[in-house]
């Protein structure tokens, strides 16, 4: 169990790790402690912002937006490697995640278990750093920014006496998340472990500079969660799913498929679940993560 760092201790830890740190507005009192507990802290979570531009990204993470009130992290890491502190306390960054992953982080076990549940409040337990990146797999990660992510995570781990196994990506915590997209978390943990003085789990062989562009591999829609598939939902993802079901011989459409979730979509998906070996209530036509990943719905 670790007591959260005070504002002064967090600032000192980051600067001691060699980082340039900017204190943004009233970050020391910017938090969501009125919405729930902050601590005990168990780890550091890395995200990407899905935004461009330092000033606007920092302001977004400080204030949040109509659908997600701020602060949205503790620190924003810009392309030049500067850390902008925007919160001290509970922040709206992790959301609900998997209790088995939390248990592994606390025990510093590796590898992490699959994040197939969303049943635990991560905002209570994790520091969050948002790195400015569009998250489209094309926006580059400058060497200075990757170094700053390494240093920021190591700074918090060093202050708490944690190893690199206390650092995870949002995609390892919450089902359906993809951030940070563009580098591997095992590779980043290797860098953090080397900085902390331990043997990295994997040697840092991944280049710091963006690799030479290669023909893109097929990418697929991450599982959007069972609640996504509700009456009234209209999305290109539903159309793409329907087309894949037809290709798999599971289409039960008279007309379509189309973007509006319908009984035909549910019947078609139930046929796919049965094809995957499910039966009874497990083949109810509502997608689950395992069958969705197996269907491989292309990105839209």
Residue 140 belongs to some domain of the structure: yes
What percentage of the chain has pLDDT greater than the value 90? 90
CA 41, CA 123: separation in Å to the nearest integer?
10
Q: Are residues 144 and 64 in the same domain?
A: yes
Average pLDDT over residues 202-209: 49
Are residues 93 and 230 both part of a single domain? no
33 inside domain: yes
Cα 77 off chain centre by: 15
What's the rounded mean pLDDT across residues 34-56?
A: 97
Whole-structure pTM value: 0.67
Q: Is residue 216 part of a domain?
A: no
Kindly state the average pLDDT of the residues 248-256.
92
Whether 24 and 164 map to the same domain: the answer is yes
The pLDDT of 201-230, averaged and rounded, is 73
On the question of pLDDT at 284 being above 80, the answer is: yes
User: Looking at the structure, do residues 98 and 230 belong to the same domain, yes or no?
Assistant: no
Nearest CA-CA partner of 183 in 237, 219, 145: 145
pLDDT confidence tier of residue 35, bands split at 50, 70 and 90: very high
Q: What is residue 201's predicted lDDT score, i.e. its pLDDT?
A: 38
Which residue segment(s) compose the domain that 269 sits in? 226-295
CB 275 within 8 A of CB 285: no
196, 212, 236 - which closes a domain:
196
Residue 53 lies in a domain: yes
pLDDT tens profile 68-85 = 999 999 999 999 999 999
Per-residue pLDDT at 202: 41
The verdict on 21 and 141 lying in the same domain is yes
- 45 & 173 share domain: yes
Domains identified in the chain, total number = 2
For the chain, helix, strand, coil in percent to 5 are 40, 15, 50
pLDDT at 256: 84
- Alpha-helical runs (H) found in 17-135: 54-63, 99-107
168 and 240 together in one domain: no
User: Rounded to whole angstroms, how far apart are CA atoms 29 and 63?
Assistant: 13
Angle, to 10 degrees, between the axis of helix 185-196 and the axis of helix 143-160?
A: 60
Q: What pLDDT is stored for residue 156 in this prediction?
A: 98
pLDDT at 204 over 60: no
Domain membership flag for residue 128: yes
pLDDT for residue 187 is more than 60: yes
* CA gap 200, 299 in Å, rounded: 34
Q: Is residue 64 part of a domain?
A: yes
Indicate if 191 and 232 belong to the same structural domain: no
pLDDT at res. 231:
87
| CATH number for 161 | 3.40.80.10
* Cβ proximity of 73 and 93 under 8 Å: yes
Q: What is the mean pLDDT of residues 173-193?
A: 97
Condensed to tens digits (0 to 9), the pLDDT of residues 156-165 reads 999 999 999 9
Q: In the predicted model, what is the mean pLDDT of the chain? A: 93
pLDDT of residue 199: 41
DSSP string, 174-203: STT--PSPSS-HHHHHHHHHHHHTSPPSS-
Query: Where residue 1 falls among pLDDT bands split at 50, 70, 90?
Result: low
Q: Once rounded to an integer, what is the mean pLDDT over residues 134-163?
A: 97
CA-to-CA distance for 105 and 113, rounded, in angstroms? 10
Per-position DSSP letters for 235-292, written without gaps between them: -HHHHHHHHHHHHTT----SS---SB--HHHHHHHHHHHHHTT--GGGGSS---HHHH
For residues 80 and 33, membership in a common domain is answered with yes
Which whole number is the average pLDDT over 116-120?
Answer: 97
Angle of helix 143-160 relative to helix 7-16, nearest 10 degrees?
A: 130
């Amino acid at each position: 169990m670790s007591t959260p760092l005070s504002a002064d201790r967090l600032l000192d830890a980051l600067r001691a790790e060699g980082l340039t740190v900017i204190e943004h507005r009233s970050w020391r009192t910017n938090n969501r402690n009125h919405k729930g507990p902050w601590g005990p802290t168990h780890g550091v979570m890395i995200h990407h912002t899905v935004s461009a531009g330092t000033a606007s990204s920092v302001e977004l993470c400080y204030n949040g937006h109509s659908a997600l009130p701020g602060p949205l992290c503790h620190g924003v890491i810009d392309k030049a490697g500067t850390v902008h502190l925007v919160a001290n306390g509970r922040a709206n960054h992790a959301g609900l995640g998997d209790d088995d992953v939390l248990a592994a982080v606390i025990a510093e076990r590796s590898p992490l278990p699959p994040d197939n549940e969303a049943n635990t409040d991560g905002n209570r337990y994790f520091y969050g750093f948002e790195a400015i990146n569009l998250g489209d797999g094309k926006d580059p990660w400058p060497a200075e920014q990757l170094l700053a992510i390494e240093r920021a995570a190591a700074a918090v781990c060093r202050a708490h006496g944690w190893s690199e196994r206390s650092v995870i990506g949002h995609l390892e915590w919450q089902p359906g998340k993809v951030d940070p997209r563009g580098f591997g978390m095992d590779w980043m943990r290797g860098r953090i472990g080397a900085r902390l003085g331990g043997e990295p789990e994997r040697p840092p062989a991944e280049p710091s500079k963006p690799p030479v562009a290669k023909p893109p591999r097929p990418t697929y829609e991450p599982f959007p969660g069972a609640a996504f598939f509700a009456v009234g939902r209209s999305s290109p993802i539903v159309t793409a799913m329907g087309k894949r079901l037809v290709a798999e011989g599971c289409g039960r459409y008279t007309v379509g498929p189309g973007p509006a979730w319908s009984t035909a979509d549910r019947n078609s998906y139930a046929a796919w679940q049965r094809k995957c070996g499910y039966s009874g209530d497990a083949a109810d036509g509502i997608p689950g993560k395992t069958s969705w990943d197996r269907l491989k719905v292309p990105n839209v």
